[in-house]
Amino acid sequence: MMTMITESRATVRPLSATGLLATIADWLSAHRRGRDMLRDLEAMEDHMLKDIGLSRLDVMQASAAEPGTDRIAMLSRARGRRMA
């Protein structure tokens, strides 16, 4: 007799190789977009950053953040603090 736990485990399927590759490709694409956005922000002049509610320091801190940190969220929070 199957219990609820074994029934739920029986329906779980392992990730296929294609699914795994698609997941990795999505992650790499998102990482590349974030890196490109930071590069664009770093190229902006200070008055342009001020127009969108950021400072040079905000961009530098986001660029220097540890791997795995959501840099877009960091910039969004900095902008929110400044615009409030």
24: number of Cβ within 10 Å: 10
What is the average per-residue pLDDT within 43-68? 92
Per-residue pLDDT for 4 more than 90? Answer: no
Higher local confidence (pLDDT), 68 or 59: 59
Per-residue pLDDT for 6 more than 80? Answer: no
Answer yes or no: pTM beyond 0.75. Answer: no
Contacts of 79 (CB under 8 A, 6+ apart): 52, 53, 54, 58
Contacts of 15 (CB under 8 A, 6+ apart): 23
